[in-house]
Homo-oligomer: A and B are copies of this chain.
Amino acid sequence: MAHHDLQTVSHECGDCPIRHRAVCARCETDELQRLEQIKYYRSYQAGQTVIWSGDRMDFVASVVTGIATLTQTMEDGRRQMVGLLLPSDFVGRPGRPTAAYDVTATTDLVMCCFRKKPFEDLMSTTPHVAQRLLEMTLDELDAAREWMLLLGRKTAREKIASLLAIIARRDAHLKLKSAKGAIVFDLPLTREEMADYLGLTLETVSRQVSALKRDGVIELEGKRHVIVPDFDRLIEETGDDSDGGYLV
């Protein structure tokens, strides 16, 4: 694994993220061919449900553009988001026939899909694909555990600050920082979705966002466009160790 230069591959790979995440062209060109053959695209509109929990799922996929969420729902309607899928994130699991969560497109969404059977065959013959997938899954597991700390121990204000920091970080390498280092981005979630993410009610989310604005931690243009004038200040509000994973 160590000798593969995954960076250089992305340039040669066209528009499908899983190719440069899962495969190294330098030594796996034939695998690229095989991936190419079994891939296809699906599109969904904002708000559409991609998969219901329990549905048969005959493909794995990676997000090309747009944002999707994984959510769990209890019988009485309480909802908890358990995954936020941004471009290049992977959906589905080799070895599981059915989906464990509802997958919903929160924006218009394009996914690059691979039929499961051939993808699994590919996996069992090439160590690199399985390894890369393992690496991605371990990253997700880390994110899930960070999220658990948030859900179990953080205050509402810390939760909001943490979510804003997460989104800011994920967007940071795409979006520009504005003139004097401020970070600017659009919230991809409604207040209700934020609440489902954070284990809060939408009213509490609204109040805490207003509070952060009142205290100058963030500025708002409209309801979704966020300006973070001082990222360090935002991080202070999260309750996290300040050293952990600074802007990459």
What residues of chain A have their CB less than 8 Å away from a CB belonging to chain B? 1, 70, 72, 74-76, 78-80, 82-83, 93-96, 100-101, 120, 123-127, 130-131, 133-135, 137-138, 140-142, 144-149, 151-153, 198-199, 239-241
Of A95, A96, A141, the most chain B CB neighbours within 10 A belong to A141
A138 near B74 (CB under 8 angstroms)? no
Selected contact of A135 from candidates B95, B100, B148, B240, CB within 8 Å: B95
Query: Is B134 within 8 A of A127, CB to CB?
Result: no
29 pairs of residues in contact across A and B, judged by CB atoms under 8 Å: A1-B95, A72-B148, A72-B149, A74-B149, A74-B153, A74-B240, A74-B241, A75-B239, A80-B149, A80-B152, A83-B145, A94-B134, A95-B135, A96-B138, A100-B145, A124-B131, A125-B127, A127-B127, A127-B130, A130-B130, A130-B134, A137-B137, A140-B141, A144-B144, A144-B148, A148-B148, A148-B151, A151-B151, A151-B199
Give the docked Cα–Cα distance between A30 and B181 (Å): 56
C-alpha gap A79/B145 in the complex (Å): 12
Shortest CB–CB separation between residue A205 and chain B, in angstroms? Answer: 13
Enumerate chain B residues within 8 angstroms of A149, measured Cβ to Cβ: 72, 74, 80, 82
Which B residue's beta carbon lies closest to that of A144? B144
Determine the chain B residues whose CB is within 8 A of the CB of A74 once the complex forms. Answer: 149, 153, 239-241
B-side contacts of A94, CB under 8 Å: 134
A128 smallest CB distance to B (angstroms): 8
What is the minimal beta-carbon distance from A223 to any residue of chain B, in angstroms? 23
